[in-house]
């Protein structure tokens, strides 16, 4: 089965096997990881509505930080269920989807996407890939798929199934082999804020082609809001102050526990079992909830139990440190 929208050169395309797609969709539904070809690079896909599944992506990639991930959708309709599209976003999607353009837009109040997928931000990045395997998988899974490039963090992005195998090996539950990726560089990322479009990452769609569609120059990231990919200062910071590596809760604190170190009241635990993947899956949700709890109870500080630095603990600690940084270092 081949779709008209497919831009991958035909001789390179592996046969579309609907049994493989069905098997892969079952793995996604069970919270597993599937490497899927897109027109840009292979993505390491998981259910974007499942915090635990998204945490597995970070674990498999060995990411030292939680960067927000791109959510792959079947089209504008699926995107609009989770983010708000301004007329500018609609225009860009109409012009470039399916294709290598990612749009960062505000999460809806009833957004079903994991908070971890947004790394705690109030926006989410969405794109409609131009590849029959990726499209087939999203449709079979019936939900949007979070997918960063399917390689270990800090290594070269994979454009063949062999690259994925070599980089991730056993860490991925299933690899859909769609042959080499036609474009080979990641998507262009735009933040769309009302009628303003800001280039966050150059990629598969050229700036001039975007500017022709929107009829004005793209804005540069910077100024008061630091928002370029990887610039973690843009990430969620609670209103309450944070106290890290807290051995016990003090009066007038909310408490984020880990393992056996728990708060007495106004507390949540990242993982009673001390499981770092579970902790990652809960991190942003718990920070949001504790911030609300602190405000409701007039508590000025959220104290956090120590979290070990191994595995995903490195990313969790990175995130906690950024949330705790002096407020004038953030916007």
Q: Which residues bind ligand TXA (CB under 6 A)?
A: 38, 40-41, 43, 67-70, 100, 102, 104, 118, 121, 123-125, 129, 147-149, 186-187, 189, 200-201, 227, 229-230
Tokens of 278: 């579970």
- Asked if 281 and 52 count as a contact pair (C-beta separation under 8 A), the reply is yes
How many H-runs (helices) and E-runs (strands) does the chain carry? Answer: 9, 13
Minimum distance of ligand TXA from residue 105's CB (angstroms): 8
Residue 73, Cα to own-chain centre: how many angstroms? 13
Minimum distance of ligand TXA from residue 42's CB (angstroms): 7
Of residues 68 and 263, the one with the C-beta less far from ligand TXA: 68
Beta bridge partners of 35: 44, 175
Subset of residues 148 to 167 that bind Mg ion, contact rule: CB under 5 A: 149
Q: Give which of ligand TXA, Mg ion, none residue 165 binds (C-beta under 5 to 8 Å, depending on kind).
A: none
Tokens of 128: 């409609």
Of residues 138 and 147, the one with the C-beta less far from Mg ion: 147
Count of positions on this chain that bind Mg ion (CB under 5 A): 1
Of residues 217 and 230, the one with the C-beta less far from ligand TXA: 230
152 burial class (0-12, 13-18, 19+ CB within 10 angstroms)?
Answer: middle
Q: Give which of ligand TXA, Mg ion, none residue 69 binds (C-beta under 5 to 8 Å, depending on kind).
A: ligand TXA
Of residues 9 and 230, the one with the C-beta less far from Mg ion: 230
Q: Give which of Mg ion, ligand TXA, none residue 43 binds (C-beta under 5 to 8 Å, depending on kind).
A: ligand TXA
Any idea what DSSP says for residue 116? G
Of residues 149 and 271, the one with the C-beta less far from Mg ion: 149
From residue 16, alpha-carbon distances to 110, 127, 301, 320, 328 in Å are: 35, 21, 54, 43, 53
Minimum distance of ligand TXA from residue 19's CB (angstroms): 23
Of residues 24 and 200, the one with the C-beta less far from ligand TXA: 200
Minimum distance of Mg ion from residue 147's CB (angstroms): 10
C-alpha–C-alpha distance, residues 226 and 232, integer Å:
8
Closest C-alpha to 157, from 38, 48, 34, 71: 38
Minimum distance of ligand TXA from residue 121's CB (angstroms): 5
Of residues 232 and 299, the one with the C-beta less far from Mg ion: 232
Minimum distance of Mg ion from residue 136's CB (angstroms): 23
Which residues have C-beta within 8 Å of that of residue 274, sequence separation ≥ 6?
258, 259, 260
Q: Quick one: the chain helix, strand, coil %, rounded to 5?
A: 35, 20, 50
Among positive and negative, which fits the CA dihedral 202, 325, 248, 302? Answer: negative
Subset of residues 111 to 150 that bind Mg ion, contact rule: CB under 5 A: 149
Minimum distance of ligand TXA from residue 227's CB (angstroms): 6
Catalog residues that contact Mg ion under the rule CB under 5 A: 149
């Amino acid at each position: 089965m081949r779709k008209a929208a497919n831009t991958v050169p035909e001789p390179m395309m592996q046969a579309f096997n609907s049994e493989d797609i069905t098997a892969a969709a079952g793995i996604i539904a069970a919270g597993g990881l599937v490497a899927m070809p897109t027109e840009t690079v292979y993505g390491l896909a998981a259910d974007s509505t499942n915090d635990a599944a998204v945490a597995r992506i970070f674990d498999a990639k060995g990411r030292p930080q939680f960067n927000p991930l791109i959510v792959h959708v079947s089209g504008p309709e699926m995107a609009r269920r989770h983010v708000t599209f301004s007329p500018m976003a609609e225009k860009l999607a109409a012009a470039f989807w399916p294709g290598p353009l990612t749009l960062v837009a505000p999460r809806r109040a009833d957004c079903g996407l994991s908070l971890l997928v947004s790394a705690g931000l109030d926006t989410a990045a969405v794109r409609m890939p131009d590849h029959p395997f990726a499209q087939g998988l999203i449709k079979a899974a019936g939900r949007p798929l979070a997918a960063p490039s399917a390689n270990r963090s800090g290594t070269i992005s994979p454009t063949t199934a062999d690259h994925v195998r070599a980089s991730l090996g056993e860490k991925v539950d299933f690899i859909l082999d769609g042959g080499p990726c036609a474009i080979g560089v990641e998507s262009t990322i735009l933040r769309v804020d009302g009628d303003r479009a800001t280039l966050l990452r150059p990629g598969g769609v050229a700036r001039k082609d975007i500017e022709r569609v929107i009829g004005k120059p793209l804005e540069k990231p910077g100024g008061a809001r630091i928002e370029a990919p990887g610039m973690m200062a843009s990430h969620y910071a609670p209103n309450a102050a944070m106290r890290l590596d807290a051995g016990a809760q003090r009066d007038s604190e909310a408490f984020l526990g880990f393992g056996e170190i728990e708060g007495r009241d106004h507390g949540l635990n990242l993982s009673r079992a001390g499981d770092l993947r579970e902790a990652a899956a809960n991190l942003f949700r718990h920070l949001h909830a504790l911030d609300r709890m602190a405000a409701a109870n007039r508590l000025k500080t959220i104290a956090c139990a120590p979290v070990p630095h191994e595995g995903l603990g490195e990313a969790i600690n990175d995130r906690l440190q950024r949330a705790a940084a002096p407020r004038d270092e953030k916007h």
